[in-house]
Structure formats: structure tokens, C-alpha cells
Amino acid sequence: MKRTMPKPDTIRKMAQMIAATRPVEIGCDECFEKLDRFAELHLAGKNAAEAMPLVQDHLDRCGDCREEFEALLAALKAETEDA
């Protein structure tokens, strides 16, 4: 069986991801569970990132969760405007 080496770009991306890990992180499931509270703080004009730094950190790193958060914010804003 012939072994092939990963492309340099792949190795670079993996190294960046490893270097960016933190001692304490949350995964997508935990982030998703906390998104409603994070969004409520954000819409109330509070510093959600300061109140929930692990959620903010995850949103900074995870495009899928960030998209979910943005969709939730848009829905909550629309609901508030309709009321």
C-alpha cells in the first residue's frame, strides 16, 4: 500500500487549528443550547461576549453555529418588529 503525504496547505490548516485550540472550549451542541440566551443578551444591548465568552469564542471559530446565531437574531428581530 502506497502512503501519500498530505498537501502542504492541508498540513498548514491542521497546524493552525491545533494552535488555535484553547484549554476550555465548547462544542456545537453546547453552543446551540446556549444560543437563545446569548441572542437575548445581544438584543438587550448587553455584552453577550463578555457574559458568555465560550459561546462567543465558538461562534468566532464555527461558521455553522455563527449562521445559526445570525438566523436566530434575524428571527427575533423580526418578531420584535411585528409586535
Cell numbers standing for residue 75: 428571527
* Tally of CB atoms within 10 A around 46: 11
C-alpha to C-alpha distances, 25 to 10, 30, 44, 51, 59, nearest whole angstrom: 23, 10, 25, 15, 11
Phi then psi for residue 56, to 5 deg, are -60, -45
Tens of pLDDT along 26-68? 999 999 999 999 999 999 999 999 999 999 999 999 999 999 9
List of residues 6+ apart from 31 with CB closer than 8 A? 54, 55, 58, 59, 62, 65
> Is the C-alpha dihedral spanning 38, 41, 43, 45 positive or negative?
negative
Assessment of whether the complete model's pTM goes beyond 0.85: no
